[in-house]
A and B are shown apart, each in its own frame.
Chain A
């Protein structure tokens, strides 16, 4: 088991390294750098001005060197322009003895954002907190609802309840967030429908209330709910046809007791994996919903960073999302082994 986790961690590290390199490469293509220079300077910069801006800020070094500097395994660039020395790791004002040679991810320095003019680590931590709040409520709503629908649908396969709940779950998986969000705003938060909720969740960042936080939470939860419910249903129907359930029935155990005491525990093993693997998908939903409802969390930062080619912020965002994806995969594998004693990893 220990070896298995160690190997998985190794693969994770390799994947994260490859992915960040791809992001690094794509964001450092010359047209992207040109766009960055123009958004930082002005839009009518000449080609020479762009080149000199990029050179002054260390963007024109070879790609592997820049990547090494970002990682913190190569010394940061140092440039001397007009007698003042600037570098990746310090400003002109920093005293010479306080200037570090290396400043990269390994040293805990994630660089600075060109859009927000602030430290990347701080931005990401703050926004992750906001998104964490959103996700917490999403999970709180989505998981119990999905399990309930799945168990209810799966306990009597083919019944009318099963058919209607299954159709409901299909409908929910067929409704992407930008569709359900738009419809929810139209019905519950516009002048044409009832004005029960707020169509914007900006105020929910400080103070989340029922009025301003319901729509974004429901919108994200709805899309994931159908999928988990269908998996739970499949697993539940399988358990309900097992021999030991039939034995319990023949012994005269009541239907409620069979479902709650005999079937449920075994039926919930498969959905656990699905719920964990749902996290990366929720990330997509978060980006869409935060854009739609103007909730300035992690997804909103991703859109801002990507739209403005904010290289270091984008890299931090991708590192975080890759870690989320890979960590949930790992947890789902380990959890599966613990929940299901029949599975052994050699």
Chain B
């Protein structure tokens, strides 16, 4: 069969992405209709830049969700190799397509004869899963440590700030090279870091609810039991693999037994996740600490102190809600930054398996033959660029809208 022309490729890619377009139209129509009732999120639809950013981000989110677990958009299996398709340019037809197999490699084949288009869509799912989750964990760590550092100040602040600056003084890539290696995974250090870093959401939720409801034991006790039980279960499932929290060749620490373990995380992904959280937390800590130092001088904090509220109530229910504007903006920016970090890890071949379809790894494997075959590296590069650009524009739109009132 004849290879497709650029126009045909474009039309076919657009058609292949139909579910994404439908989802985008639905979410935009709903959001614009009800934008007056949706608070800051609704106001985003008053700014063109914000809408463009939101559109770009949601495009990749939908592409990731629909193409990843739901398997809708992809044309071929992202890992299987099809003979004769090695490094073929975009729009090449398959030599001998089986019954029901898609006849073309829409965006060409990579150096192992895999479909570039399907790999980019599957890669979106990996990024869409890891980047926001890692950012969320980093925020939990940063908020839980940054609020007391800014509120109390003194020696606590000095020690925590020193530690934060210590991590920030590390060149990120050196840190990745030291942490994200198979040898370090063997020592169990990532598991210890996971034990430490993942406990913060649990601590945060507990303090948050306890400081609010400790005067009403009838509400507080069942609520806390439920929340700690649920989050604790998730936490233990997250940190334990095959019934052990830390398993090295020399010793193991027993964790949650396998039959109540909800999910296992691949050690390669765990170490990537942990190091990204670890690198991001100090910056969040510094932002939260600065905001807390600024807000604690306000009158409503003084009023709460006079009322006799506890320090954690003031931090979490007076200071934190009033710091939400800058934090939401930074959250968007930081997801973009985390995406870049994940790409950096992939670019250096650290952490994720070499056949993983995530964008950084794909760019890395495509760059060896970049001077001759451009498409295997450029397609994921453009994907990463548009996603991060979308997050930056979204953050810019949110900042503009939140400053307006």
Tell me the A residues contacting B by CB distance below 8 Å: 11, 15, 18-19, 23, 26-27, 29-32, 34-35, 167, 170-171, 173-176, 178-179, 182-183, 185-186, 189-193, 199, 280, 283-284, 287-288, 291-292, 302-303, 306-307, 309, 314, 317-318, 321-322, 325-326
Contacts and interface: CB of A to CB of B under 8 A. Distances in A.
B27 to A, nearest CB: 22
Contact of A170 (B169, B172, B396): B396
A239 B336 CA distance: 30
B331 to A, nearest CB: 16
B178 A170 contact: no
B187 A175 contact: no
A309 B184 CA distance: 12
Interface in B362-385: 363, 366-367, 370-374, 377-378, 381-382, 384-385
B281 interface: no
Contact of B371 (A26, A173, A190): A190
B306 to A, nearest CB: 31
Interface residues on B, range: 35 or more
Interface centre among B169, B186, B381 (most CB of A within 10 A): B169
Contacts of A306: 174, 177-178
A174 B347 CA distance: 16
Contacts of B388: 174-176
Contacts of B393: 167, 170
Interface in B68-98: none
A15 to B, nearest CB: 6
28 contacts: A15-B162, A15-B169, A19-B170, A23-B174, A26-B179, A26-B184, A31-B187, A32-B181, A34-B183, A167-B393, A174-B336, A175-B388, A176-B343, A178-B343, A179-B381, A182-B370, A182-B377, A183-B381, A190-B370, A190-B372, A192-B374, A280-B171, A284-B344, A288-B344, A288-B347, A291-B348, A303-B177, A318-B170
A178 B162 CA distance: 31
B165 interface: yes
Interface centre among A31, A178, A192 (most CB of B within 10 A): A178
B343 A283 contact: no
B403 interface: no
Given A27-B178, A170-B389, A185 B170 contact: no
B370 A199 contact: yes
B166 interface: yes
B179 A318 contact: no
A178 to B, nearest CB: 5
Contacts of B177: 302-303, 306-307
A283 B171 CA distance: 7
A186 B392 contact: no
Interface in B161-215: 162, 165-166, 168-174, 177-179, 181, 183-184, 186-187, 189
Interface in B106-134: none
A171 B390 CA distance: 9
Interface centre among B168, B347, B360 (most CB of A within 10 A): B347
A174 B389 contact: yes
Contacts of A176: 340, 343-344, 384, 388
A173 B392 contact: yes
Given A170-B396, A174-B389, A291-B348, A179 B174 contact: no
Given A185-B371, A193-B374, A179 B183 contact: no
A309 B389 CA distance: 36
A307 B171 CA distance: 15
Contacts of A302: 171, 173-174, 177
Nearest to A185: B370
Given A170-B393, A288-B347, 10 more contacts: A31-B186, A32-B183, A170-B396, A174-B389, A186-B377, A190-B371, A287-B173, A318-B171, A318-B174, A325-B168
B58 interface: no
A293 to B, nearest CB: 10
B292 interface: no
B49 interface: yes
A170 to B, nearest CB: 5
A168 to B, nearest CB: 11
Given A174-B336, A321-B171, A31 B184 contact: yes
B343 A182 contact: no
A237 B277 CA distance: 35
B367 A23 contact: no
A192 B384 CA distance: 21
A314 to B, nearest CB: 8
Contacts of B183: 29, 31-32, 34-35, 309
A33 to B, nearest CB: 9
Contacts of B366: 182
A189 B373 CA distance: 11
Contacts of A35: 183
B371 A199 contact: yes
B271 to A, nearest CB: 13
Given A26-B178, A35-B183, A303-B348, A179 B367 contact: no
Nearest to A189: B371
A321 B343 CA distance: 22
Nearest to B393: A170
B363 A325 contact: no
A174 B165 CA distance: 25
A282 to B, nearest CB: 10
B4 to A, nearest CB: 17
Contacts of B171: 280, 283-284, 287, 302, 318, 321, 325
A34 B347 CA distance: 26
